[in-house]
Structure 1
């Protein structure tokens, strides 16, 4: 069972996921402007993959590490295979870009070049350059007295090759090189003034406008060539948590170091001048740097902002989803009175995240609420939740916030929130040494008559109003005494010196979650061996932990029927005769990012339902504080089963993982069922009737 051929490599599986995203950009059935959005996501995904995963492999390779992982790859061999596939993907990405730009032109939106403008437009664009762009630009010469500048990771730059005018015809003349950063403070696309009343829009890329006028920055020199380039650096933080006296200061120091991380990837515009290329190779020490020559604009992530600002093009977008306020709370005078009667399950983005904000706001304003405790992993700008917590602390309530300042790429923002909360009087805990706090939970303690009652919200997604509009996540509101007691114990462990708790409801990583999952799977194995119904349905973002995969293989061999809904990385190889022939794996990539983690264990209508913050990856199970919470009330349990059934029956956007490691679209003789569109029919999955047929 532990043979390398029985597993799919994590990084190769990730590339397959990004390919599925790219397929959405290539799908003619996807609205045009949404296809641009998917192209932008492909770029952003690839940037993070390079700056974290590939960077780690390069570091292992440089250190001479040659051991194979459990999928049979050495770092050196895996890098070669990844780069071969990535190069193919980038070529396909830009073929799709050119096709989409052509189609967009037919809709009256042109991404043009300066030379294609008429004379009046050229004059106006030159004036715009002189007044708006030119004052912001800084030419950086590279010579003996001026060293090569520090290039920011993922910044867009122009390499300018020059010759001095009075030496151009001299046989000893040589080329000079300078670097110009394309300013991030200005929008990447510039609208060209058109005729009054025209329904057509023409845009220029900022770097093209700068290229056309680059000579104004170098008087006395002639521009030989100017080409764009971009460097991606290692962005993973290396923290000495145990040796650090102040974790906050240590992370701030590492954020400064990140700007100088080793180069991982260099992207250059096709046809770059040899002198500029030689300079970049020398300065970046490109022995093991990934190199891509790009036939098109560098960094297609700009497309997301570009298409989102186009006016009057809603017919080229998905129909808007207006989140509704959950019926359970709509007519109630206050939320807590509802939770004294029953648990409430909400599903974002179809149900509004405002319900989470209101839960905290109501608690902050309630004179009988004594304490609010909450975990924050990724928070939106101008978060209502942060303001509500600060208000609660200022009114005298005990407010405790566990802020995870090691959340990758959100470190600086979380540090700012933490300081704001501290100033308001909140008790702020900066995570735990050696662990990331990834659990999503809020505890409200309220005085009622002669006792205290605890109200809890547990979610699968971050407390972030913005991503709650883009991700599918579930959240549970409850006042169940066992869950409240476990929530109290969990916060005591995160903020104090409490010994590990004997959980009555929760399973908590890094100590208890994996054993609990194994216990549940073993129970199904026993049922299958005894001839009783045995079934597991698990929905998550990623599955890569070897021992979890082996346990699922064991269950499959025992006859347990297993359905896995895994959006991204999946290292399990399904459908292998005698090993995993009882396991089916599907992935759904659609307009919203599938982000919920749900587990259903048991067959014959006796299922146990859980929601969780954790994927089944090694980092989640052993290096993070993660939470899995049972859903106890029959209503929410059936709702979760309905959602899982909708996913499993999706035959429009679902793709099934083959034993070869490739994915194929699910086909079915039944009527088309697109789970994300079906979920918009809230009464359908919120009905307490039997699961969807």
Structure 2
């Protein structure tokens, strides 16, 4: 009988393929397609740095560690990954080539020296000699000049040099230089460009005079970034200094991938792999530029063409909040729910600022994971501390790739008088929890905010997230217990209303699925609906399969990794999985247990991944206000009916776009139109989308 599991790594690559589809789609505006092409590349960079790096580390342990679902070894997974990445890489190169062809109609053109006239060539040569050549630092590898350290994701040129005595040497030229421009515009040809690395590549004979150039290519290295901070930490060290040192070490970890812009002799590739101590199977040939970050500069040049971009959308004022009235007073009357990016984050920021100034507020406690570069959240916390409030902030210094930013914010918070803690041994704190405690006339009241996304003003305009604000004293007390546990370096052992990982989330989810199984066994309607970024937790997957066999109807809206195969006869045939990939990054988490009339609805910071459910501190909160619950259930139904940006997962693990005869419905566009209507503004015309027939 067919397996119900999909490998985690291959499922993630399926997600990145859906991102690539957006770069290929003619229904996405041209400049936005450039963004998706760039996102595909940066996603893949991080995937190699973290996931492939982790698998490579497993192989070095010489233990046969197997994926707990598909039973693949690390070696088998890497082999499958490399094969799939090479397939996707060819498709990405073709997609980018098509994008460049379309850009020519708007006056943007990329050329090489074969397609320019003699006059332009002479002017470029002068430019190289005066502006570029003095700034580059070429190296020739020899006994006295060892192979240089190649920085993670930087661009280099490698050249095979032949001496007069027919000996071969390698020349290396670093090209990632902030001094000269990445895009070089041809003299007297506005809008016609060369990439700086391709420009330098042409002049390699000028750089290495006296040698015959046998071969040359642009290359780029991706290094492992997977370091276990908890395993390496020495408790005698200052944790913040330790993390800063760890960041430096990560930049020097072993390579996991090398990309070439041109075919190179096998012997040359083997030599490079030997220097880099990596396997030649990790070598990739790319038809697209090795770093697409320059596309944003191209976009800036084309802003005068609005048809090349998504129509501008601005987060709207939530009708749940009234101007000129205390935010805390409004939350005291009834629970509030914000939906980003459709509604503005401002009411939450106003709540923090009000709490910072309210003489009756005695404390503000928050968990911070990822912050904006210019964080208004931190400004409010600093003001509160300076006003004499007790401000306790957990800053997770292990938020991958945001460690440096968080280290700086932690210093500023401490300088302002906040008490800063850095998480727990063995557990990342990923919860999005804020607790304001207020005392008036010997009465203590709590205002609690629980979110699905980070306290980041920038991403609140780009990611779909939910933010619940409540004055429910039971939730406030449980939130207080979470912070007390964190201060003691412990985890919550028991909770009633909140679901709090690592001890009180996975087990509660399993119990609520069991309740639905019981309803189904008594021939009563039973339902589970979940919206997540990823589903990998085997215990939950197995329980969902058990529920499906019992007759529970299950809808899963999962943007990224899904290790559960739906529609497998007699196993998961009552399970439907869809993925929405579009203009905004789907990031909110919603759990629904039970049919509508008896449903329990939660919003959460946790995906159903083992790392979230049992290895992190996460918080899910019940949405008990009838209005808010109905709103979330309606929004979930809208997502299930998306037939524009949604893809259906098939029993073989592949995805197909949902197409039917219904009126075209893009959930993201629908939610924005609704936000404009509720704010009392003129309804925005819908951005051109795909039709059901396309």
Q: CA deviation at 1:281?
A: 2.2
Query: Which residue in the other structure is 1:111 paired with?
Result: 110
Query: Which residue in the other structure is 2:34 paired with?
Result: 36
Query: Which residue in the other structure is 1:290 paired with?
Result: 282
Which moved further from structure 2: 104-113 or 245-254?
245-254
Query: Which residue in the other structure is 2:492 paired with?
Result: 500
Query: Which one of 30, 42, 45 corresponds to residue 43 of structure 2?
Result: 45
Give the Cα–Cα distance (whole angstroms) in 2 for the partners of residues 115 and 413 of structure 1.
45
Q: CA deviation at 1:176?
A: 3.1
Q: CA deviation at 1:210?
A: 2.1
Matched, 1:76 2:68: no
Pairing of 1:67-216 with structure 2 (within 5 A):
67-69=65-67, 70-118=69-117, 121-122=120-121, 125-126=124-125, 128-130=127-129, 132-163=131-162, 167=164, 172-185=165-178, 186-192=180-186, 194=188, 201-216=191-206
Q: CA deviation at 1:582?
A: 0.9
Could you say if the C-alpha distance between residues 610 and 391 of structure 1 is closer, same or farther in structure 2, counting changes exceeding 3 Å? same
Contact 2:269 2:280 in 1 (8 A): no
Could you tell me which runs of 5 or more consecutive residues in structure 1 were left unpaired when the two chains were aligned.
Answer: 688-693
Give the Cα–Cα distance (whole angstroms) in 1 for the partners of residues 464 and 331 of structure 2.
23
Contact 1:242 1:434 in 2 (8 A): no
Could you say if the C-alpha distance between residues 173 and 538 of structure 1 is closer, same or farther in structure 2, counting changes exceeding 3 Å? same
Matched, 1:609 2:601: yes
Contact 1:264 1:289 in 2 (8 A): no
SS in 1 for 2:9: helix
Which moved further from structure 2: 290-299 or 581-590?
290-299
Pairing of 1:668-683 with structure 2 (within 5 A):
668-682=660-674
RMSD: 2.3
- Cα displacement string for residues 584-604 of structure 1 (whole angstroms, at most 9, x for unaligned residues): 111111111110000111114
Contact 1:137 1:183 in 2 (8 A): no
Could you tell me which runs of 5 or more consecutive residues in structure 2 were left unpaired when the two chains were aligned.
Answer: 680-694
Give the Cα–Cα distance (whole angstroms) in 1 for the partners of residues 297 and 426 of structure 2.
37
Matched, 1:232 2:222: yes
Query: Which residue in the other structure is 1:245 paired with?
Result: 236
Q: CA deviation at 1:278?
A: 4.3
Contact 1:533 1:604 in 2 (8 A): no
Query: Which one of 53, 61, 64 corresponds to residue 63 of structure 1?
Result: 61
Give the Cα–Cα distance (whole angstroms) in 1 for the partners of residues 567 and 513 of structure 2.
19
- Cα displacement string for residues 271-303 of structure 1 (whole angstroms, at most 9, x for unaligned residues): 336675343122012336511122342133443
Could you say if the C-alpha distance between residues 62 and 565 of structure 1 is closer, same or farther in structure 2, counting changes exceeding 3 Å? same
Query: Which residue in the other structure is 1:573 paired with?
Result: 565
Which moved further from structure 2: 105-114 or 124-133?
124-133
SS in 2 for 1:327: coil
Pairing of 1:339-418 with structure 2 (within 5 A):
339-418=331-410
Give the Cα–Cα distance (whole angstroms) in 2 for the partners of residues 224 and 488 of structure 1.
68
Contact 2:221 2:259 in 1 (8 A): yes
Give the Cα–Cα distance (whole angstroms) in 2 for the partners of residues 187 and 659 of structure 1.
48
Matched, 1:539 2:538: no
Which moved further from structure 2: 485-494 or 269-278?
269-278
Give the Cα–Cα distance (whole angstroms) in 2 for the partners of residues 177 and 566 of structure 1.
47
- Cα displacement string for residues 395-428 of structure 1 (whole angstroms, at most 9, x for unaligned residues): 2211111011111111122112111211121111
TM-score for both structures, normalised by structure 1: 0.92
Give the Cα–Cα distance (whole angstroms) in 2 for the partners of residues 663 and 93 of structure 1.
18
SS in 1 for 2:103: helix
Give the Cα–Cα distance (whole angstroms) in 1 for the partners of residues 326 and 77 of structure 2.
56
Give the Cα–Cα distance (whole angstroms) in 1 for the partners of residues 530 and 149 of structure 2.
46
Give the Cα–Cα distance (whole angstroms) in 2 for the partners of residues 513 and 681 of structure 1.
35
Which moved further from structure 2: 601-610 or 543-552?
601-610
Contact 2:82 2:281 in 1 (8 A): no
Q: CA deviation at 1:122?
A: 4.5
- Cα displacement string for residues 570-614 of structure 1 (whole angstroms, at most 9, x for unaligned residues): 111111121111111111111111100001111142211100000
Q: CA deviation at 1:480?
A: 1.4
Query: Which residue in the other structure is 1:630 paired with?
Result: 622
Give the Cα–Cα distance (whole angstroms) in 1 for the partners of residues 120 and 112 of structure 2.
11
Could you say if the C-alpha distance between residues 305 and 4 of structure 1 is closer, same or farther in structure 2, counting changes exceeding 3 Å? farther
Give the Cα–Cα distance (whole angstroms) in 2 for the partners of residues 487 and 124 of structure 1.
67
Contact 1:114 1:204 in 2 (8 A): no
Q: CA deviation at 1:220?
A: 5.1
Give the Cα–Cα distance (whole angstroms) in 2 for the partners of residues 519 and 245 of structure 1.
42
SS in 2 for 1:329: coil
Could you say if the C-alpha distance between residues 293 and 441 of structure 1 is closer, same or farther in structure 2, counting changes exceeding 3 Å? same
Give the Cα–Cα distance (whole angstroms) in 2 for the partners of residues 158 and 678 of structure 1.
48
Which moved further from structure 2: 319-328 or 353-362?
353-362
Could you say if the C-alpha distance between residues 50 and 173 of structure 1 is closer, same or farther in structure 2, counting changes exceeding 3 Å? same
Q: CA deviation at 1:244?
A: 3.2
Which moved further from structure 2: 487-496 or 676-685?
676-685
Give the Cα–Cα distance (whole angstroms) in 2 for the partners of residues 627 and 455 of structure 1.
16
Which moved further from structure 2: 380-389 or 221-230?
221-230
SS in 1 for 2:405: helix
Q: CA deviation at 1:306?
A: 3.7
Could you say if the C-alpha distance between residues 660 and 414 of structure 1 is closer, same or farther in structure 2, counting changes exceeding 3 Å? same
Which moved further from structure 2: 356-365 or 19-28?
356-365
Contact 1:5 1:72 in 2 (8 A): no
Number of residue pairs matched?
675
Q: CA deviation at 1:362?
A: 2.3
Contact 2:433 2:451 in 1 (8 A): yes
Could you say if the C-alpha distance between residues 190 and 323 of structure 1 is closer, same or farther in structure 2, counting changes exceeding 3 Å? farther
Query: Which residue in the other structure is 1:690 paired with?
Result: none
TM-score for both structures, normalised by structure 2: 0.92
Q: CA deviation at 1:450?
A: 2.9
Contact 2:6 2:564 in 1 (8 A): yes
Could you say if the C-alpha distance between residues 140 and 413 of structure 1 is closer, same or farther in structure 2, counting changes exceeding 3 Å? farther
Could you say if the C-alpha distance between residues 187 and 390 of structure 1 is closer, same or farther in structure 2, counting changes exceeding 3 Å? farther
Give the Cα–Cα distance (whole angstroms) in 2 for the partners of residues 282 and 423 of structure 1.
48
Could you say if the C-alpha distance between residues 328 and 604 of structure 1 is closer, same or farther in structure 2, counting changes exceeding 3 Å? closer
Pairing of 1:434-449 with structure 2 (within 5 A):
434-449=426-441
Give the Cα–Cα distance (whole angstroms) in 1 for the partners of residues 507 and 265 of structure 2.
58
Could you say if the C-alpha distance between residues 193 and 638 of structure 1 is closer, same or farther in structure 2, counting changes exceeding 3 Å? farther
SS in 2 for 1:454: strand
Contact 1:241 1:433 in 2 (8 A): no
Could you say if the C-alpha distance between residues 455 and 605 of structure 1 is closer, same or farther in structure 2, counting changes exceeding 3 Å? same
Q: CA deviation at 1:386?
A: 1.6
- Cα displacement string for residues 230-261 of structure 1 (whole angstroms, at most 9, x for unaligned residues): 11111111222564333323322322221221
Give the Cα–Cα distance (whole angstroms) in 2 for the partners of residues 633 and 312 of structure 1.
46
Give the Cα–Cα distance (whole angstroms) in 2 for the partners of residues 415 and 124 of structure 1.
47
Give the Cα–Cα distance (whole angstroms) in 2 for the partners of residues 274 and 83 of structure 1.
18
Contact 2:198 2:218 in 1 (8 A): no
Pairing of 1:581-600 with structure 2 (within 5 A):
581-600=573-592
Give the Cα–Cα distance (whole angstroms) in 1 for the partners of residues 65 and 437 of structure 2.
51
Query: Which one of 536, 539, 555 corresponds to residue 563 of structure 1?
Result: 555
Could you say if the C-alpha distance between residues 602 and 192 of structure 1 is closer, same or farther in structure 2, counting changes exceeding 3 Å? same
Could you say if the C-alpha distance between residues 439 and 640 of structure 1 is closer, same or farther in structure 2, counting changes exceeding 3 Å? same
